[in-house]
Structure 1
Amino acid sequence: MANTSSKRIASQNEVAIKNMCYGHLLGNIVPLLIRVLFRREAFLLSKKAIALYCVSLALSHFLYRQLKRMGTPRRDSTGNLVSSGDDLNQPGMTDWTFDVLYISWLAQVGSAILGEWFWWIYIVIPTFVFYKSWTIFISPMLFGRSSSLGQEEQKQEGSSKRQEKLKKRSERGDPRVKQEGTWNTQTTRK
């Protein structure tokens, strides 16, 4: 029997997959209809536009299938939940996969409505990857610790309100605080 958390994740995943299905259909069919009905000549004459649309369609379909496969809950023959699937609301790669999927849909619809220059929206993806790589890996390796890490370190060196409070208790000889050696290791009774 599945616990409450698994049931909650499964129901959230089912809603997310249903919404993603609607988005996938609208994001891929609406641009095609706009191009065929209103911009037929421009679309059919441009091999570049057809190629970009096909690549974008393939990318969005691949990401849609991956997310659907990851998040689909499995049930046994009686309908009981066996596995809730991966949590589609988790941060990190799953969240970024959704972002790339949304950008693909935006590029398809935007290029159909506004023109072929709108495919440049895809430049957001490598820019974001470079930004994340720079702040997490490259900058700390080249220049040592980043400024944000330095600020966190300064916070840790300074005393927090709780540490100050425990220090005052230990100075008064409060039995709730133990002192060991030069470092104050504070433990409180429960």
Structure 2
Amino acid sequence: MAKALAKKTAADNEKALQNLRYGMVISSALYVLLRLILSPHKFPPAFWPSVIYLLTAIPTVFLYRYLHSVGTPKRDASGILISSGDDLNQSGLLDTCWDVIYVTWGCQVGSSLFGEWFWWLYLSIPVFGGYKVYTSFISPMMGLRQGQPAAAAEAADPTTAPGGADATSKRQAKIQKRNEKIQAQQAKSGRR
């Protein structure tokens, strides 16, 4: 079963890396072709759009090489799978790499279609990175977790689950209800 999973991961990685190569070629070709088609009077293209394109192409190439190095399956000379490589569909760092690549492609094609203002979308990458750093590292270290008072109240009440739903089973609820009834009856009989 482990070999089947390794083979599936290897096949998925090979397909993802092939799509990544196609995507890089297609987005770059679309950038150049759309620039030529939509504004033929501006050939060669202006200096700053070319600089921005090259500056955003550098992280894309770097991330491509990283994904290629960690995700390429290793095979021996006879073609037998030695290692499937890291699963490129994992969340975390690999997921963030894919997000950066997709935003870059979108900005490249979008800027050639809609104008240079489309590059402002590229700022979503550092903004999201800052948000993740804040919520994952800074706020927990400073004790500023969101919903902290509610979490403290839930921790004090053992009958509620972290989501706020009733965590007691039906049997426990019946026992608790019966105990409350008995206590109420004892309180009544004690008052007489």
Q: Give the deviation of 1:41 after TM superposition.
A: 3.7
Query: What is the TM-score with the length of structure 2 in the denominator?
Result: 0.76
Matched residue SS, 1:53: helix
Q: CA deviation at 1:155?
A: 4.4
Letter in 1 for 2:146: S
Contact map agreement 1:34 1:112 (CA 8 A) in 2: yes
Label 1:52 to 1:163 Cα distance change in 2 as closer, same or farther (>3 A). same
- Checking the alignment, whether the CA contact within 8 Å between 2:74 and 2:85 is kept in structure 1 is yes
- Aligned residue number for residue 27 of structure 1: 27
The residue aligned with 1:178 is none
Q: Cα deviations across residues 42-94 of structure 1 (Å, max 9, x unaligned)?
A: 46352111101111222222212221221111111111100001110100000
**Which residue pairs with 1:138 in the alignment?**
138
CA contact (8 A) 1:27 1:108 kept: yes
> Any gaps of 5 or more consecutive residues in structure 1?
172-190
Structure 2 CA distance for aligned equivalents of residues 109 and 30 of structure 1? 6
Amino acid at match of 2:145: S
Show the counterpart of 2:123: 123
Q: Report SS of the residue matched to 2:51.
A: helix
Whether the 8 Å CA contact 2:35–2:45 is kept in 1: the answer is no
- Distance, in Å, in 2 between the alignment partners of 1:4 and 1:51 is 46
| Aligned-partner residue type, residue 114 of structure 1 | F
Tell me which residue corresponds to 2:59: 59
Alignment of 1:6-17 (within 5 A): 6-17=6-17
Report the RMSD for the aligned CA atoms in angstroms. 2.7
> Which residues in structure 2 correspond to 1:105-116 (within 5 Å)?
105-116=105-116
Q: Counterpart in 2 of 1:187?
A: none
Structure 2 unaligned residues grouped into runs of 5+: 177-192
Q: What is the CA–CA distance in structure 2 between the aligned matches of 1:104 and 1:53, rounded to whole Å? A: 9
Count of residues in correspondence between the two structures:
170
The 1:85–1:152 alpha-carbon spacing in structure 2 relative to 1, beyond 3 Å, is farther
Q: Percent identity?
A: 38
- Aligned CA distance change for structure 1 residues 29 and 82 (closer, same or farther; 3 Å): same
Separation in 1, partners of 2:53, 2:110: 11
Q: Pick closer, same or farther for the CA change 1:3–1:149 going to 2, 3 Å.
A: farther
Inter-CA distance 35–85: structure 2 relative to 1 (3 Å threshold): same
Aligned 8 A contact 2:38 2:113 in 1: no
Sort the Cα spacing of 1:138 and 1:43 in 2 relative to 1 into closer, same or farther, 3 A. Answer: farther
Q: Which letter maps to 1:13? A: N
The code of the aligned residue for 2:74 comes to R
Given residue 98 of structure 1, which amino acid in structure 2 is its aligned partner?
A: W
SS across alignment from 1:79: coil
In 2, Cα distance between equivalents of 1:165 and 1:16: 48
1:116 alignment partner AA: E
Structure 2 partner of 1:4: 4
Deviation at 1:34, TM superposition (A): 1.4
Output the amino acid matched with 2:132.
K
